[in-house]
Amino acid sequence: MDKRHALSKVTVGLHWLVAIVMISMLTLGAYMSLLEAYGVYDIHKSIGVLVFPLLLARVLWRLKQGWPKPLSRYSTIEHLLAKLTHWGLLIGIIALPITGMLYSGASGHGFGIFGLTIVPSNDHPTEAGQVLPYHAPLSIIGETAHEWLGYSLMVLLMLHIAGALKHHLIDGDGTLKRMLGQRVEL
């Protein structure tokens, strides 16, 4: 159980595992998108499907545990910004892989896990290497949402990191230490 002075190993472990996964996947996604690196799309999709249960576990654990109690008093605006950032991150880490699967599946490109097909590609019957969308409007919605969620999560992650550094360097309140698994003296 999480306590005000210390967070559980499960909370700390899930936080850092998801942080590593999300930063890696967002970086890979930006690389793929900006450089049109089509060769790594299957890797990105496979990892996205594989880590989805971990992301879901993180969200469910946070909802079960509630939010950690603040270690100091903060202004109303700072408290609101923190809540919005945390909720945005939780919603985003679930919505991003769902929209990615929607986009890839509905577009006809399909997806799977390192060669194990979950949604098959919808190969064009006469044009080799081309696919036909299963549902073009859903594909467009999935693509647009996936792109915007990716950029939004990047911004939220930067806010989250900035907040953690502010707690540590300016407030000196132990919030970052607690998230690193250390017990904080109150």
Q: 26-72, pLDDT tens digit by residue?
A: 999 999 999 999 899 999 999 999 999 999 999 999 999 998 888 88
**Residue 10's pLDDT is what?**
95
8 A C-beta contact, residue 54 and residue 18? yes
Round to whole Å and give the CA distance between 29 and 48: 11
Q: Provide, for the chain, the percentages of residues in helix, strand and coil under a 3-state DSSP scheme, each rounded to the nearest 5.
A: 70, 5, 25
* Regions in the chain scoring below 70 on pLDDT: none
**Residue 71's pLDDT is what?**
86
- The pTM of the full predicted model, rounded to 2 decimals, is 0.91
The two three-digit tokens of residue 161, written as one number: 């990191």
**Residue 17's pLDDT is what?**
97
**Residue 106's pLDDT is what?**
97
Round to whole Å and give the CA distance between 98 and 149: 11
So what CATH class is 9-179? mainly alpha
CA 117 to each of CA 90, 91, 139, 142: distance values in angstroms, whole numbers, following the listed order: 28, 27, 18, 19
**Residue 3's pLDDT is what?**
84
